[in-house]
């Protein structure tokens, strides 16, 4: 009866691994060691993800959307493995890892924003707005340079 209950509780792959055991005690020991191993694998994966998150830096040409997606994906994977990752930690990581062109907005957020109440979406929104202003300014500067070159060659 115990074997019938175990066979209903585990997936087919796991059942195929323990079906060759002779006693319920052997089945139980095999299941226990398999699942304890799973915990070790999860912990190793969480450590790898944490390392990747800590070492993640935004590239100079990378957009805020692309970079924030990387952070969100890593945090999501860690949470799926049972690791608790506070939003405040993800926000601080995001602000520490953006490229140098965002230093002004990061300082503004840190000094004038309430880090304890801001959401990740609000921070990302502020960074994206700043990024758009930088693009607009760059386009305007390039336009002025082209006009100046055109007038110089006339």
**Whether residues 86 and 130 fall in one domain:** yes
**Whether residues 42 and 76 fall in one domain:** no
> What phi-psi label fits residue 76: left (phi over 0), alpha (psi between -120 and 50 degrees) or beta?
alpha
> Would you report the helix, strand and coil content of the chain in percent, each value rounded to 5?
80, 0, 20
CB of 49 within 8 A of CB of 77? yes
Rounded to 10°, the helix 24-54/64-80 angle is 160
**Whether residues 42 and 73 fall in one domain:** no
Give the Cα separation of 21 and 47 in Å (integer): 34
Domain boundary among 55, 75, 96: 55
Give the pLDDT of residue 37.
Answer: 67
Q: Which residues of the chain have pLDDT under 50?
A: none
**Whether residues 71 and 147 fall in one domain:** yes
**Whether residues 96 and 39 fall in one domain:** no
Angle at 122 between CA 62 and CA 120, to 5 degrees: 70
Domain boundary among 31, 55, 79: 55
Give the pLDDT of residue 22.
Answer: 83
**Whether residues 8 and 78 fall in one domain:** no
Share of the chain above pLDDT 70, in %: 92
DSSP state of 8: H
**Whether residues 20 and 71 fall in one domain:** no
**Whether residues 82 and 142 fall in one domain:** yes
Listed in sequence order, the residues at least 6 apart from 113 whose beta carbon sits closer than 8 Å to its beta carbon are: 122, 123, 126
**Whether residues 78 and 149 fall in one domain:** yes
Give the Cα separation of 134 and 14 in Å (integer): 55
DSSP state of 102: G
How does the average pLDDT of the chain come out, rounded?
Answer: 87
**Whether residues 64 and 41 fall in one domain:** no
Domain count, the chain: 2
Domain hosting residue 78, numbered range: 60-154
The whole model's pTM is what? 0.68
**Whether residues 51 and 64 fall in one domain:** no
Give the pLDDT of residue 17.
Answer: 80
Give the pLDDT of residue 117.
Answer: 84
């Amino acid at each position: 009866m115990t074997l019938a209950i175990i066979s209903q509780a585990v997936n087919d792959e796991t059942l195929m691994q323990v079906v060759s055991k002779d006693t319920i005690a052997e089945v139980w020991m095999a299941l226990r060691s398999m699942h304890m191993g799973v915990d070790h694998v999860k912990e190793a994966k969480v450590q790898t993800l944490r390392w990747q998150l800590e070492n993640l830096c935004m590239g100079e040409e990378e957009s805020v959307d692309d970079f924030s997606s990387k952070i969100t994906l890593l945090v999501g994977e860690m949470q799926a493995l049972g690791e608790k990752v506070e939003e405040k930690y993800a926000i601080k990581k995001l602000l520490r890892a953006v490229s140098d062109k965002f230093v002004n907005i990061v300082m503004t957020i840190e000094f004038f924003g309430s880090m304890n109440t801001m959401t990740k979406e609000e921070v990302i929104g502020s960074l994206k707005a700043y990024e758009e202003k930088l693009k607009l300014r760059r386009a305007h500067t390039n336009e002025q340079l082209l006009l100046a070159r055109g007038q110089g060659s006339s």
